[in-house]
Amino acid sequence: MKLKDLARELGLSLTTVSRALNNYPEVSDDTRARVKRVADRVGYQPNIIARGLAVGEIGAIAVMVPKESTSYLDPDTIEFLVGIAEVLAPAGQDILLVQSSRDESLETCRNIIESRRADAIIICYPAPVDSRVRFLADANFPFVVYGKSRTPVAHTWVDIDHRDAAFRSTAFLFERGHEKIAAIEGPVQFAFAEERMAGIRRAFDQFELPPCIINDTFCDYTGYEHTLRLLRQASPPTAFVYGSLLSAIGGGRAIRELGKQERIAVVTQDNGVPYLSPKNILPRMTMTSFPIREAAKRVAQQTIRMMDVNAAIETESWKPRLISIAQSGRD
Amino acid sequence: MKLKDLARELGLSLTTVSRALNNYPEVSDDTRARVKRVADRVGYQPNIIARGLAVGEIGAIAVMVPKESTSYLDPDTIEFLVGIAEVLAPAGQDILLVQSSRDESLETCRNIIESRRADAIIICYPAPVDSRVRFLADANFPFVVYGKSRTPVAHTWVDIDHRDAAFRSTAFLFERGHEKIAAIEGPVQFAFAEERMAGIRRAFDQFELPPCIINDTFCDYTGYEHTLRLLRQASPPTAFVYGSLLSAIGGGRAIRELGKQERIAVVTQDNGVPYLSPKNILPRMTMTSFPIREAAKRVAQQTIRMMDVNAAIETESWKPRLISIAQSGRD
DNA sequence: CTGTTAGCGCGTTCAT
DNA sequence: ATGAACGCGCTAACAG
């Protein structure tokens, strides 16, 4: 069923039918009513491609999430996607899920905008300096970044204040008398990892101690292995900071295995993933917490806003709550 | 940069350039080479929409996943999506992520095919009798279902043998002397839940005991609450079967809280989600295991196959492994 | 208020 | 081997 068929059935011209369906003001109310009624009855659906070609929009937004060869869509990324979907679906925008590894990300990005596969792009977890940002800004293509990068181009982004969160996490432990603290953080190829490291370093500087930071993929076994290794050292840490609950879970396992769960303090970043409840984890952990789903909603709203031709650039930084848990430690 | 621009740049006609890029046999080799070289240099990308309009294909496959009001994309669904993406991305097919609740799913489905938003549809977790199956089959639209439903229409599907897995899980416990077994299973609106219940009932029948099955959303707190409630009964179960690791995690927490982790046996279904490692869970659990990511890959391959006009209908059922863990129990 | 006409960018017959 | 012309289904100027 195409527009032409519908027009023939109604005895109207193609144009009038189109206008009636798209709520143009110049069609009479009863014509519009009649058109819509019949369209509804015969189940007419406009061909989205033809419409896209005519209007120059496709009704979809691409979400670029990182793909590393050994990795998977982690729970945080998923929660992010869920938040995006919650805003975009009611807005009638489809989501184009695009995974791309670091070195092909610019190419993928180009591909999306030149083939007009999407009307806007959301970049999730940018690199410290991300080539896509300049490219998209130059191309004047609507985009929003989830993550504060150092890319020297004005652009709209939303992020959690990772630097502040990491600083407070570390300081929290220092203030409780810990002197040997280890941080298990994410890969340096991501901006947020850099931000967290800056916060952690500041805390170490302030308490005049040399930093101990490890960077690796966030997942159970990396958290486990690094923690185990560190705890087996001659003078092991008495406290750990984890950049992700995933690593913290693995780290917690290592701590339990060594029977140290009463003597090691832990602070972790928590993104509020419902099924990764810290309640299940031992040892108990203090956390900096911000629901990534809410951040994602803001990203989506900003993206819709940026699709307006003369939208201004905005940035948003959200501070996580510190949820202090009575736990073991040196004090 | 459009085809016309490229043609002008090359001093060739639009047609020839198009044919050269699409590997038509009638263009001379050096013309083709020259065209491709220049296209590559100037970064020409065909407009996917215009191409779609001309060819009648859009280069995207819709994945319909259930959305329940209180719920989120759970880890299993995500792993499923990852598997889909692993196959579809290299095949040059985009993924259109579509969440829809049960009662609007048929409408959403219609919408997708009538507006030609996608070239094929993947249905994830069908209802026991799913209206979309008949609709898509009637419309002769390519689709594959992840999940064995009772819909009386021949169609291509891929699934894990849930009935067998659930039967073996339950029988495993009976054989170890348990007589009071409770099953925490998924919502009956999904076909897989029905399948699992059939398997569980068969085990109960075989051992001539009345079944105890609870149906609820799979998540931490439902697992927790049902388990807690049951364990506080007058004569509580000595063993639990969980349809999902998510519920099992919550259930395990309830068991630990009551200090019964040495006396309760647990069997769970495990979909091989990397970050939900059962290694972190107490009490230890026996599991029926099958990587949902692998199943998803099969689904994606089947979908690509079904996009061929005269593809035959195929069905695949995969048996999970039973991974027996030495654990507490009555024996 | 309604209809006619011209694109949107590409693939593809039909000529040459 | 190459090009001109048409159509995919729809929207948007431009008439009337």
CB B122 within 8 A of CB B303: yes
Output the CA–CA distances (angstroms, integers) from residue A253 to A25, B54, B132, B161, B207, in the order listed.
65, 57, 44, 32, 38
- The contacts of residue A158 (CB under 8 Å, 6+ apart) are A144, A145, A146, A295, A298, A299, A302, A315, A316, A317, A318
Distance between the alpha carbon (CA) of A209 and the C1' atom of C5, Å: 77
State which of B5-14, B25-34, B238-247 shows the largest mean pLDDT.
Answer: B238-247
pLDDT, mean of residues A123-145: 95
**Residue A53: nearest nucleotide (C-alpha to C1'):** C8
Given A94, A115, A275, which is nearest B75 (Cβ)?
A275
| A151/A119 same-domain check | yes
| A151/A297 same-domain check | yes
Q: What's the CA gap between B129 and B138, in Å, rounded?
A: 15
Specify whether the backbone of A92 is left (phi greater than 0), alpha (psi in -120 to 50) or beta.
Answer: left
Contact of B121 with chain A, judged by CB distance below 8 Å, is answered with no
Q: Which of A15, A34, A55 is the last residue of a domain?
A: A55
- Per DSSP, helices labelled H in chain B are 3-10, 14-21, 29-42, 48-55, 75-88, 105-114, 131-138, 162-175, 191-206, 220-231, 245-257, 292-306
| A168/A267 same-domain check | yes
| Number of Cβ atoms within 10 Å of the Cβ of B245 | 28
| B267/B304 same-domain check | no
pLDDT for B42-62, tens place per residue?
888 888 888 888 888 888 999
**Residue B2: nearest nucleotide (C-alpha to C1'):** C9
Contact of B58 with chain A, judged by CB distance below 8 Å, is answered with yes
* Residue A29 C-alpha from the chain's centroid: 44
First-last CA distance in chain B = 74
Nearest chain A residue to B84 by CA distance is A97
Q: Within the 301-330 window of chain B, which residues sit less than 8 Å (CB to CB) from chain A?
A: none
CB atoms B249 and A97 under 8 Å: no
Query: Which of the two residues, A166 and B4, has the higher pLDDT score?
Result: A166
Q: How confident is the model at residue B331 (pLDDT cuts 50, 70, 90)?
A: very low
The phi, psi pair for A10, rounded to 5°, reads: -90, -10
Lay out the sheet containing B157-160: strands in order across: A315-318, A157-160, A143-146, A120-124, A60-66, A94-100, B94-100, B60-66, B120-124, B143-146, B157-160, B315-318
Q: Please name which of B246, B267, B276 lies closest in space to residue B328, comparing C-alpha atoms.
A: B267
Q: In the block, which residue shows the tokens 């050269």?
A: B20
Q: What's the CA gap between A83 and A310, in Å, rounded?
A: 25
| B236/B280 same-domain check | yes
pLDDT for B254-264, tens place per residue?
998 899 988 99
CB A233 within 8 A of CB A323: no
Q: Which of B40, B55, B70 is the last residue of a domain?
A: B55
Q: Is the pLDDT of residue B281 over 80?
A: no
The reported pLDDT for the residue numbered A206 is 94
Contact of B95 with chain A, judged by CB distance below 8 Å, is answered with yes
Query: Which of the two residues, A163 and A68, has the higher pLDDT score?
Result: A163
**Which residues on chain B are in Cβ contact (under 8 Å) with A47?**
53, 115-116
Bridge-based pairing of strands A143-146 and A157-160 is: parallel
| B190/B211 same-domain check | yes
pLDDT, mean of residues B246-273: 91
For helices B48-55 and A48-55, angle between their N-to-C axes, nearest 10 degrees: 140
**Residue A16: nearest nucleotide (C-alpha to C1'):** C2
Q: What's the CA gap between A321 and A262, in Å, rounded?
A: 25
| B152/B168 same-domain check | no
Q: What's the CA gap between B170 and B40, in Å, rounded?
A: 60
Q: Is the pLDDT of residue A71 over 70?
A: no
Q: Please name which of B60, B66, B143 lies closest in space to residue B96, comparing C-alpha atoms.
A: B60
Bridge-based pairing of strands A315-318 and A157-160 is: parallel
Q: Is the pLDDT of residue A69 over 60?
A: no
Contact of A47 with chain B, judged by CB distance below 8 Å, is answered with yes
pLDDT for A306-328, tens place per residue?
998 889 999 999 999 999 876 55
Q: With b meaning 16 or more CB within 10 Å and e meaning fewer, what string describes A247-273?
A: bbbbbbbbbbeeebbeebbbbbbbbbb
Distance from CA of B272 to the nearest CA of A (A): 12
User: Number of structural domains, chain A?
Assistant: 3
B176 DSSP assignment:
T
CB atoms A46 and B115 under 8 Å: yes
**Number of inter-chain CB pairs under 8 A, A vs B:** 121
| A242/A270 same-domain check | yes
Domain CATH code at residue B23: 1.10.260.40
| B37/B66 same-domain check | no
Beta bridge partners, B62, equal B96, B121
User: How buried is A244 (Cβ within 10 angstroms: 0-12 exposed, 13-18 middle, 19+ buried)?
Assistant: buried
| B130/B203 same-domain check | no
CB atoms B72 and A50 under 8 Å: no
**Which residues on chain A are in Cβ contact (under 8 Å) with B253?**
279-280
Q: Which two tokens stand for residue A139?
A: 């191309």
Q: Which two tokens stand for residue B69?
A: 């009001």
Question: Residue B230 sits in which domain range?
Answer: 162-291+323-328
Residue A134's Cβ-side half-sphere holds a number of Cα atoms within 13 Å equal to 8
Q: What is the dihedral of CA A12, A13, A18, A19, to 10 degrees?
A: -80
Bridge-based pairing of strands A60-66 and A120-124 is: parallel
pLDDT for B143-171, tens place per residue?
999 999 999 999 999 999 999 999 999 99
Q: How much is the pTM?
A: 0.84
The phi, psi pair for A319, rounded to 5°, reads: -95, 125
CB atoms B96 and A96 under 8 Å: yes
The type of residue at B193 is A
Q: Please name which of B65, B77, B76 lies closest in space to residue B102, comparing C-alpha atoms.
A: B65
The type of residue at A54 is A
Q: Which residues touch strand D (CB under 7 A)?
A: A 2-4, 14-15, 18, 21-22, 46-47, 50-51, 53-55; B 12-16, 19, 25-28, 31, 53-54
Specify whether the backbone of B193 is left (phi greater than 0), alpha (psi in -120 to 50) or beta.
Answer: alpha
The reported pLDDT for the residue numbered B280 is 65
Output the CA–CA distances (angstroms, integers) from residue A320 to A29, A277, B178, in the order listed.
52, 17, 47
| A215/A66 same-domain check | no
Domain CATH code at residue B250: 3.40.50.2300
Q: Return the minimum-mean-pLDDT range out of A136-150, A239-253, B72-86.
A: B72-86
Q: How confident is the model at residue B70 (pLDDT cuts 50, 70, 90)?
A: very low
Q: Which two tokens stand for residue A43?
A: 């189940």
| A82/A40 same-domain check | no
pLDDT for B111-142, tens place per residue?
888 888 899 999 999 999 999 999 999 988 99
The phi, psi pair for B271, rounded to 5°, reads: -100, 15
Contact of A83 with chain B, judged by CB distance below 8 Å, is answered with no
